[in-house]
Structure 1
Amino acid sequence: MALCRFISRRGPIKEMHSDCGTNFTGAAKLLQPVDQFTRSKEYQHQCQAYLTARNIRWHFNPPSAPHFGGLWEAGVKSVKTLLYRTLGLQRLTYEELNTLLSRIEATLNSRPLGALSSDPSDFEALTPSHFLTLMTSTANVEPNLDNIPLSHFQRWRLIKDLHTHFWKRWQNEYLQTLQQRTKWTNHSDNLTPNMLVLVREPTSPLLWKLGRILSLSPGQDGIARVATVQTTTGIIKRPIVKLCPLPVC
């Protein structure tokens, strides 16, 4: 069912990478007779050429080697850990949990991976959502309910608050991975003018504050600790510890 939902949302799959879980190996065995049938001589050549290009190639990790899937395992771990801490003892219905997971999915797919171009006037970053929908993740516009009692919109407000709490915690953890922390005795110049950076400031969910460095302000020792950044809303000055560089993809 998970595979059917994934294909329905994202389209046909050519290759699948997973561990050796029984649900994955069972799905691969279930699809194998279909694959053999489409490759058989009895099958019409025209349909064979059409369908074999859409068969799924399943790549399994070696047994007892979950670290081979470190890329997706790290993402699953971060979501599950923060989700447990966010939900606590709160009990959600299937509809509410599905809505929250959909919002979390959009949150993770909105993270900046790198600059789309080296153009100084381009403030857009490449995100996982670009590979899925060819555009950035978006959220529907919602009214501000901070001053309205929770009981008026209890269940809807609960999902919104849980997503906001998840966003704040996950954003801080992700931003820490973008900054190289070296010992204070070592210095590395990893920021340059016109570089696209992510400004570490509290924002609304799915909103990342991006800008281009205009200039660096070195101190008396020649080390730059402050940068002037051009954003879509204007020019700001920030310490470089609040700026996360994004490489050009």
Structure 2
Amino acid sequence: MSTKAIHLELVGDLTSDTFIAAFRRFVARRGRCAQIWSDQGRNFVGANKQLVADWTEAKLQFEGSIAETLAKDGTKWHFIPAYSPHMGGLWEAGVKAMKHHLKRIMTHNMTYEEMSTLLCQIEACLNSRPLTMIDDTDKDRLQPLTPGHFLVGETPITVPTPNLRDVPMSHLSRWQHQQRLLTDFWHRWQQEYLTTLQQRSKWHHKVKELDLGHIVLIRSDNLPPGKWMMGRIVEKHPGADGVTRVYSVKSGDSVVQRSFNKLCYLPIDTEC
């Protein structure tokens, strides 16, 4: 709820048993789930009843400290009011970020294994977005904090793959086509996400200029999935009217000039 990290799990249908199986996989990989928020779908209500019965039966088989431990390991389920999907907008927005672009890049049917692999890679991309800086005292090394840090302790990565965007689809194998879908998704979603960080009211309000030493995201169309270009403002180049529209940004060992519309604030920025 606070980090907006996303976990994507592929299921074959919308029954309660299938959801419980997905929930067991989630707990086995992510750890104990103390709280669940969801709408009042029949599969969720049925799964809640089944899980409550399973935990109750497990506690009856033991006494003393073991029973107390099992009670603490249980999951509390919270249901939003019926016919009120807007009250689940926080998690619906994360799922929409995946569905909106995925259905636009899908060109053929995929097997369960192919779809599951693609969703895991998309999950890594979504959880790799920088939130703020871990420690910006090191002038040469930028370490962003991402949602992935709260899941796996580090920024999620995707295994490198050749750039296949210029290769005709008919020349690709099924595996290459799957990786092409990942690249297409990344370019669509990254551009939309960076655009949301640049929403500014044109002409109505004066936007605060970036300060020297400020950490920014740099818009780039050639980055592989899960990679972000970041830099530190080292010089300002004001125009004749005194407004700065061009900045010198240090990224790695090089310093490049970028216009203001190519630079994005971090989502959580204590300096703004």
TM over 0.5: yes
Any gaps of 5 or more consecutive residues in structure 2? 1-20
Q: 1:85 to 1:37 in 2, by over 3 A?
A: same
Q: Which residue of 1 aligns with 2:73?
A: 54
Q: Is the 8 A contact 2:129 2:147 kept in 1?
A: yes
| Residue 212 (structure 1) aligned with residue 232 (structure 2) | yes
Where 2:250 maps in the other structure, the secondary structure is: strand
- Give CA-to-partner distance per residue, 1:90-115, whole Å, 9 cap, x none: 11111111111111111111111222
Contact kept in structure 2, 1:120 and 1:194, CA below 8 Å? no
Aligned ranges 1:219-234 → 2 under 5 Å: 219-234=239-254
Q: Distance in 2 between matches of 1:109 and 1:148?
A: 28
Q: Do 2:246 and 2:260's aligned partners in 1 also have CA atoms closer than 8 Å?
A: yes
**TM-score normalised by structure 2 residue count:** 0.83
Partner residue in 1 for 2:6: none
| 8 Å Cα contact 1:226-1:238 kept in structure 2 | yes
Where does residue 195 of structure 1 map in the other structure? Answer: 214
Alignment gaps of 5+ in structure 1 = none
- Tell me the C-alpha RMSD between the 2 structures: 2.2
Q: 1:147 to 1:81 in 2, by over 3 A?
A: closer
Distance 1:119 1:177 in 2: 27
- 1:25-72 alpha-carbon deviations (Å, 9 max, x no partner): 1111111123434666x8412112322222111111111111111111
Extract structure 1 runs of 4+ deviating beyond 4 A.
37-40, 143-153
Paired AA for residue 12 in structure 1: R
Quick check: 1:241 aligned with 2:261? yes
| Count of aligned positions | 247
Q: Which amino acid in structure 2 is aligned with residue 79 of structure 1?
A: M
Identity over aligned pairs, percent = 42
Matched, 1:116 2:97: no
Identify the match of residue 120 of structure 2 among 91, 97, 102: 102
Matches within 5 A, 1:26-175: 26-37=46-57, 43-88=62-107, 90-119=108-137, 121=139, 122-143=141-162, 154-175=173-194
Once the 2 structures are TM-superposed, how far is the Cα of residue 162 of structure 1 from its aligned partner? 0.6
Q: 1:183 is matched with which residue: 202, 205, 208?
A: 202
What displacement does 1:206 show?
0.7
* TM-score normalised by the chain length of structure 1: 0.90
Provide the C-alpha distance between the structure 2 equivalents of 1:142 and 1:48, rounded to a whole number of angstroms.
49
